[in-house]
């Protein structure tokens, strides 16, 4: 490809962008149009753009609650398999040696 042809392609890309970024905006515009037509959506087209940057860190309290719920669910399933009543296990007293 000659230098002139390459320059022409660069100019064309600047005037009529193509590629993934442009495709994302087109898809967002379609989603926005459907949302407005279906329910009077009052947001922006950019609300429908996908964000491929690093995700936001989860809220620590929300994360702690999710972990707690998972652990409680796991312990209840394990207890059901063993036939536990859900009460803590009583450890017999050990005689002093």
pLDDT 10s digits, 22-70: 889 999 999 999 999 998 788 999 999 987 777 777 788 888 998 888 8
Residue 5 included in any domain: yes
pLDDT bin (cut points 50, 70, 90) of residue 14 is confident
CA distance linking residue 48 with residue 32, whole number of Å: 7
Q: Do 19 and 47 belong to one domain?
A: yes
**Model pLDDT, residue 18:** 72
pTM of the predicted model as reported, rounded to 2 decimal places: 0.41
92 located within any domain? no
In a domain, 66, yes or no: yes
Domain membership of residue 41 as a residue range? 1-53
Q: How many domains is the chain built from?
A: 2
């Amino acid at each position: 490809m000659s230098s002139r042809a390459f320059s022409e392609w660069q100019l064309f890309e600047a005037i009529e962008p193509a590629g993934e970024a442009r495709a994302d905006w087109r898809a967002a515009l379609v989603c926005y149009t459907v949302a407005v037509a279906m329910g009077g959506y009052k947001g922006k087209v950019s609300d429908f753009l996908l964000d491929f940057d690093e995700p936001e860190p989860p809220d620590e309290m929300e994360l702690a609650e999710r972990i707690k719920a998972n652990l409680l669910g796991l312990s209840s399933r394990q207890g059901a398999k063993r036939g536990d009543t859900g009460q803590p296990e009583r450890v017999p007293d050990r005689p002093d040696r």
